A and B are shown apart, each in its own frame.
Chain A
Amino acid sequence: MDKSITMEEVLSIFKDEMTIMVGGFMGVGTPETLVSAVDQSDVKDITLIANDTAFIETGVGPLVVNKKCKKVITSHIGTNPETGRQMIAGELDVELVPQGTLAERIRAGGSGLGGILTPTGVGTAVEEGKEKIKVDGREYLLEKPLRADVALLKAFKADKAGNLVYHSSARNFNPLMAMAADTVIVEVEHIVEVGEIAPDEVITPGILVDKIIVQGGNH
């Protein structure tokens, strides 16, 4: 089964008000071709889940700058001044989540868990409105799962069945998000035949990947 698709097919997937997860850390490990497809489409009012809002011109940054989002769930917005500006102006809803908690909420969403208990954020503004649970004398916050309609991922290499291999620090949130969305689209630098990636090398198994596009949109 060949999961590679064209850019036209990718564009038909995006809808208004969708929740979209995008892999990456300050743009590293972010699928730039897919992000630019969303950016150039007519899609609006998306809820974006990403580690950070990157920069004005790179990573997921342009999705904020070009007002594609109604809400962003993220751990850091400091490198993209437009996110903070829209938040303060009341144009964008921003939910700030500690990075480790964001990772675990996505993991929970993708692995059938009703949430996770973390000590992170106890005694800070992060605990506001959340249930606190004491386990063996220590307090934890109940943090709920996160899922998305679509996950946009970046990998170094895929085989046509979607088995993924990542490169250096571009892995970050991508394997977690591969578990937590109804449709998983991955952008890769290289696509190879099934069997060319040794099972021991696979980080994200192909059963989680729905669609593959090669960086730049050609294949």
Chain B
Amino acid sequence: MVTLVPPQMAAKQIIAARVAKELKNGDVVNLGIGLPTMVPNYLPEGVNVILQSENGYVGLGPVTVEDPDLVNAGGQPAGVIPGAAFFDSGFSFELIRGGHVDVTVLGGLEVDEHGNIANWMVPGKMVPGMGGAMDLVTGAKKVIVAMEHCTKKGGSKILEQCTLPLTGKGVVDVIVTEIAVFRVTKEGLVLEELQEGVTLEEAKEKTEATFIVSPNLV
């Protein structure tokens, strides 16, 4: 049977699957809402991570029993795995700011070559608020931005300089899109990997930021 996947969904699956490869067995991971929640579906064999939910627990898992008090950070019904622990919001963010969360995966409206990220407001259009995002990008040991490479209008979301109000300054470590994987380093943004079927020319064409091409790709 052939399953047809809409192109946007396919992009999200490609991104989630690649992000999953960044995670190590035993990592404590916080996943943002939307695309990042797909990441656990693609964890390689033998890699188990502990999911932290900023509304107050570690050990987030699939829904097993109906409990209206148990939701994920997007307010959706959630479950907990054996060994989970609940705590208050103060402790939850102590874990986040205190470097006890190994990885955070979140979406972005814009990211730039300096490791800046903007994902909490579009002045005059959309002001949802930052929620826990500013604490997560500041405190998590590794910040992975998982997002589609371009806006709906086709513009690059990886810029020389973010134009929207920042969520964090110089905080991003890795950017994963359906086109490529970039790492933010002291030397600048490095294109580390092209997704399957993507050419270097295409990645260059769709990326506004200046980047170094990893020697592995040349």
A and B bound?
A: yes
B75 close to A28 (CB less than 8 A): yes
A175 within 8 A of B: yes
Known: A75-B129, A76-B130. Contact between A172 and B88, CB under 8 A?
Answer: yes
B54 within 8 A of A: yes
Option from B75, B131, B168 in Cβ contact (under 8 Å) with A124: B168
A124 close to B128 (CB less than 8 A): no
A98 close to B165 (CB less than 8 A): no
B57 close to A168 (CB less than 8 A): yes
B135 close to A124 (CB less than 8 A): no
Interfacial chain A residues near B96, Cβ < 8 Å: 100
Q: What sequence of 0s and 1s flags, for each residue 39-81 of chain B, a beta carbon within 8 Å of any chain A beta carbon?
A: 0000000000000011111000000000111110001001010
Option from A84, A99, A104, A203 in Cβ contact (under 8 Å) with B131: A99
A41 within 8 A of B: no
For B79, the closest partner residue in chain A by CB is A168
B contact residues, total (Cβ < 8 Å): 41
B134 close to A124 (CB less than 8 A): yes
A27 within 8 A of B: yes
A98 close to B90 (CB less than 8 A): no
A76 close to B131 (CB less than 8 A): yes
A123 close to B56 (CB less than 8 A): no
B166 within 8 A of A: yes
Interfacial chain A residues near B155, Cβ < 8 Å: none
Interfacial chain A residues near B69, Cβ < 8 Å: 28-29, 156, 167-170
Segment of A13-21, A113-121, A129-137 engaged in the interface with chain B? A113-121
Known: A99-B89, A100-B93, A123-B170. Contact between A25 and B128, CB under 8 A?
Answer: no
For B67, the closest partner residue in chain A by CB is A168
B177 within 8 A of A: no
Interfacial chain A residues near B86, Cβ < 8 Å: 166, 168-169, 171
A70 to B196, CA, bound (A): 53
Option from B55, B135, B165 in Cβ contact (under 8 Å) with A172: B55
B130 close to A75 (CB less than 8 A): yes
For A123, the closest partner residue in chain B by CB is B169
Interfacial chain B residues near A121, Cβ < 8 Å: 134, 138
Within 8 A of B (CB), among A120-146: 120-126
A62 to B6, CA, bound (A): 38
Interfacial chain A residues near B135, Cβ < 8 Å: 98-101, 120
A91 to B22, CA, bound (A): 46
Q: What sequence of 0s and 1s flags, for each residue 115-135 of chain B, a beta carbon within 8 Å of any chain A beta carbon?
A: 010000000001111111111
B88 close to A171 (CB less than 8 A): yes
Known: A98-B135, A124-B169. Contact between A77 and B128, CB under 8 A?
Answer: yes
Q: Max chain B CB contacts within 10 Å: which of A100, A101, A175?
A: A100
A187 within 8 A of B: no
A120 close to B138 (CB less than 8 A): yes
For B136, the closest partner residue in chain A by CB is A100
For A118, the closest partner residue in chain B by CB is B97
A84 to B54, CA, bound (A): 23
B75 close to A26 (CB less than 8 A): yes
A174 to B56, CA, bound (A): 11
A96 within 8 A of B: yes
A99 to B116, CA, bound (A): 20
A137 to B210, CA, bound (A): 30
Interfacial chain A residues near B97, Cβ < 8 Å: 100, 118-120
Question: Besides the contacts A28-B68, A169-B86, what 6 more A-B pairs have beta carbons closer than 8 Å?
Answer: A25-B75, A52-B129, A100-B92, A100-B93, A101-B135, A172-B55
Residues of B near any A CB (own CB < 8 A): 53-57, 67-71, 75, 78, 80, 86-90, 92-93, 96-97, 116, 126-135, 138-139, 165-170
Residues of A near any B CB (own CB < 8 A): 25-29, 51-52, 74-79, 84, 87-88, 96, 98-101, 103-104, 106-107, 118-126, 156, 166-176, 203
